[in-house]
Chains A and B, each alone.
Chain A
Amino acid sequence: MTSTFFLIALGFVIGLGGWALFLWAVRNGQFDDAEAPKYRMLDDDDEVRNKPKKKTVKKEK
């Protein structure tokens, strides 16, 4: 009995993590542009930048 409910709760919490990730992704515009990201991997950062590398996450509220 307890193990069943424990597993249900566990499954729910894991799912909740996925849901939270989804909400974060939608709010950050991760689903807005499906075209450019596939080309971004082809960009070479061949030159060392003068400044420390920054996180370049698009922030939107």
Chain B
Amino acid sequence: MQEVPASAAVTAVIDGKTRNFCCHGCLGAYELIHSESLDAFYKQRCDWQPGRPAFASVDAREFAGDIVTDGSTSRIELLLSGIRCASCVWLVEKVLGRLDGIVSARVNYATHRATIEWRTDSITLDTILKTLSGIGYLPRPVRHGTQVEAFSAEKRDLLLRFGTAGFFSMQLMLIIAALYAGFFQGIESTYRLAFQLISWALATPVLFYSGWPFISNAVRSMRNLALNMDVLVALGSLAAYFYSVAMIFTGGEVFFDTSAMIVTFILLGRFLEAGSRLKAGSALAALADLQPREALLVGENGQTSLAALERIGEGALIEVLPGDRVPLDGSVASGEADVDESMLTGESAPVMKSSGSKVYAGTCAITGRLRVRVSGDAKQTLLASIIRTVEEAQARKAPIQGMADRIAGWFVPAIILLAAASFAWWHLAGAPLVTALMNAVSVLVIACPCALGLATPLAILVGTTTLSRKGILVRGGDIFESVSRTTAVVLDKTGTITRGTPTLTDTFSCGATGNFMQCCASLEILSRHPAGRAIAEGWPGEILRVEEFRTIPGMGVSGMIEGQAWLAGSRALLEKENIAISDECLATSARLEASGKTTVFVSCDRKLTGLFGLIDELRDDAGRMIGALRSQGLRLMILTGDNAGVARYIAGKCGITEVCSGLDPIGKAEAVRKLKSGGETVLMAGDGINDAPALTEADTGVTFGTATGIAIESAGITIMNDDLELLGTLLAHSRKSFAVIRQNLAWAFGYNLIAVPLAITGILHPIVSALLMATSSLVVVSNSLRLRKI
């Protein structure tokens, strides 16, 4: 670290006192505030000092168990919270690298883990931890035994086994190619024997090191009498192996390549699968990391103290400082703050929270200090329930896969029986033992378990990964399957096919005030209501100063402009204030409401001066999306809680004939149920809390990234980009994926149905069988990879 040179210090003598400043900017700001006699600002500011006092709790003792000491140097792996991008990695590595005594510091961007090595004689862990928290990254002990840790250990193990198998198989193929050539063209017997011995040596590590998981799994499953794919894999590769060993001594053909290739290909599939599970697991862990593990508990006397979350229950009062994440769900008891809820809603603009509003664990208070009355413990937060839902979804399989698994359950014992039967039959028919064994092995080898086993999961994996690159998150194979069978699409109106925010369409002025529009805009610009914002946008010019501004909840706003009392809001507000509404204005408002518009009345000094008509317009991309859905032959329907006028207007504009209006949340679910009982497979797209029951009721629920947390939780699919056209992409792609799955299964079954009898008859040499088996797997794999394109 460099010291700040004395010449760079910024000091000023103000009222006889020497004060230090960090820079000239702050000095300028202070001088301005001081000259305006607003020094009280600094007293106020100290009241909500930004920063993270919780950091003071970093305790080196917590990490003691993780330190690995090696003579003069020690090493630790710890979790850093607050890593957001590659530059965070850079910063942490650079800052630590400059400390004296640090040997190395590396941060893993994907797992947020830092591995730090230091010389014990020149620096202590305490200093390192303080430095880390000082630059804004809270170090935490790595939680061992977590799901993610288990996944990454598994992935590494599979990578080692696969890499080894790959290396030996490549060497093996070189030798086997010579033997193949020899089989067809003739080969000197010494060469053949030498090559056979070399290939034996090369195949052994592949089968008994790389293939060990299959063998041990097969043994375990046979002991439990539940035969699985591993049995066939192990049996096929072991039979090919031991048959080949026998052939070396009896002078027949070897096919060690079959046994090695079965193991290598299947390991590749398992490795890819482990990778995708790890990725899903880390995404979850990152979500769980959003929740702080301690909170500032407010005591009886108003003093705050740090307490672990486990000790805080319903009804407790906690404090959230600016910049901190809310630790538990609850409602605001006092204070105001802009809260960033983007992790729950996807909405990037912060939401203003004040007394009475609900706040959720994991969201971040940006500007102010809040005191929150806790509504439930750590397990009951919205964040926790989202994590639970995703975890459950990951374990779910598509029904079609269940069918494949059931068939595979019969397939394996059937193939073993067939192989045994064909051996017995050939042997009894008087064929030499070698021929009988060769035909039996041929049956085992040609039966292609990989094609059957890979047909569904691989296509689903490729299909959902492709969709996730487009920002479409599918929560499980079963959901993906029900999307592909969709026959009817139900759309929520507000916020889904309309913008969700109104725009100004009609302005009527019936008073004499010249600057009517300017005054209305000046008043409404202070309002947080979407209708207010829409009216304010209607005036591009200068804004007047408003005094005594007041919001009347659910009704409108009021304020003084240039000495006149202005009022803007619903008809109910004017009636409450006893302001007369002329018949002409009533007629206009009735006409507006009939065409689906909301009206806002404005009065000045208790006289009606005008009214506005606002409409929630169709989104620009709605038309294209509806066109795409219609071209796929789907039945379309709109559900809305709005009145019939608005619903009819919107439906007419986007060309949908089926509309249900005036529905409450339960009514929407009812409408979906009615469609389902009519034999339709329903996909429902919506985004509000009021859509949640309908989203659950539908076969598939789709929400958009901007939706409320509760809607995301009740939907199976979330489209992170706010792009309606992706709905069409999702439907088309899921249908294509399941077409590919059906092709794969048809191929796998058809192939086995034809090839196995051929092998029994003894027409096929085991080498040809092995080649056919590999080709069959390749057909399934390459067919599935077609799904990488949308």
Q: Do A31 and B159 contact each other (CB < 8 Å), given the known contacts A18-B167, A49-B98? A: yes
How far in angstroms is the closest Cβ of chain B from A61? 8
* Contacting residue for A58 out of B97, B106, B174, CB 8 A: B106
Q: Tell me whether B170 and A15 are in contact (CB under 8 A).
A: yes
Q: Tell me whether B167 and A36 are in contact (CB under 8 A).
A: no
Q: How far is the CA of A39 from the CA of B105 in the complex (A)?
A: 16
Q: Tell me whether A59 and B159 are in contact (CB under 8 A).
A: no
Instruction: Categorize the interface residue count of chain A.
Output: 20 to 34
How far in angstroms is the closest Cβ of chain A from B615? 46
Q: Tell me whether A33 and B167 are in contact (CB under 8 A).
A: no
**Interfacial chain B residues near A35, Cβ < 8 Å:** 86, 109-110
Majority secondary structure of chain A interface residues (helix, strand, loop or mixed): loop
How many chain B residues touch A (CB < 8 A): the figure is 34
Q: Tell me whether B171 and A15 are in contact (CB under 8 A).
A: yes
Whether B334 is near chain A, meaning CB under 8 Å from some CB there, is no
Q: Tell me whether B156 and A15 are in contact (CB under 8 A).
A: no
Q: Do A26 and B174 contact each other (CB < 8 Å), given the known contacts A32-B111, A39-B89? A: no
Task: Annotate B124-139 by CB proximity to A: 1 below 8 A, 0 otherwise.
Answer: 0000000000000000
Task: Annotate A4-31 by CB proximity to B: 1 below 8 A, 0 otherwise.
Answer: 1100100110010011001100100001
Whether B580 is near chain A, meaning CB under 8 Å from some CB there, is no
Q: Do A43 and B90 contact each other (CB < 8 Å), given the known contacts A35-B110, A51-B100? A: yes
Q: Tell me whether B103 and A54 are in contact (CB under 8 A).
A: yes
Q: How far is the CA of A8 from the CA of B117 in the complex (A)?
A: 43
* Contacting residue for A26 out of B108, B117, B163, CB 8 A: B163
* Contacting residue for A39 out of B90, B97, B163, B198, CB 8 A: B90
**Interfacial chain B residues near A26, Cβ < 8 Å:** 156, 159-160, 163
Whether B175 is near chain A, meaning CB under 8 Å from some CB there, is yes
**Interfacial chain B residues near A49, Cβ < 8 Å:** 97-98
Whether A56 is near chain B, meaning CB under 8 Å from some CB there, is yes
**Interfacial chain A residues near B75, Cβ < 8 Å:** 59
How far in angstroms is the closest Cβ of chain A from B90? 6
Q: How far is the CA of A40 from the CA of B190 in the complex (A)?
A: 55
* Contacting residue for B152 out of A8, A12, A32, CB 8 A: A32
* Contacting residue for B174 out of A11, A22, A36, A60, CB 8 A: A11
A4: nearest chain-B partner, CB-CB: B191
Q: How far is the CA of A34 from the CA of B163 in the complex (A)?
A: 17
Q: Tell me whether B170 and A56 are in contact (CB under 8 A).
A: no
Whether B194 is near chain A, meaning CB under 8 Å from some CB there, is yes
**Interfacial chain A residues near B156, Cβ < 8 Å:** 26, 31-32
Q: Do A57 and B104 contact each other (CB < 8 Å), given the known contacts A15-B171, A26-B159, A26-B160? A: yes
Whether B164 is near chain A, meaning CB under 8 Å from some CB there, is yes
**Interfacial chain A residues near B175, Cβ < 8 Å:** 8
How far in angstroms is the closest Cβ of chain A from B163? 5
How far in angstroms is the closest Cβ of chain A from B204? 14
Q: Tell me whether A33 and B111 are in contact (CB under 8 A).
A: yes
Give B335-390 interface residues, CB cut-off 8 Å to A: none
Give B527-564 interface residues, CB cut-off 8 Å to A: none
Q: How far is the CA of A42 from the CA of B106 in the complex (A)?
A: 16
Known: A58-B106, A58-B115, A59-B117. 6 other contacts (CB 8 A): A22-B167, A32-B110, A33-B111, A35-B109, A36-B108, A56-B104
> Can you list 8 pairs linking A and B with CB atoms under 8 Å apart?
A1-B191, A11-B174, A12-B171, A22-B167, A23-B160, A26-B156, A35-B109, A58-B115
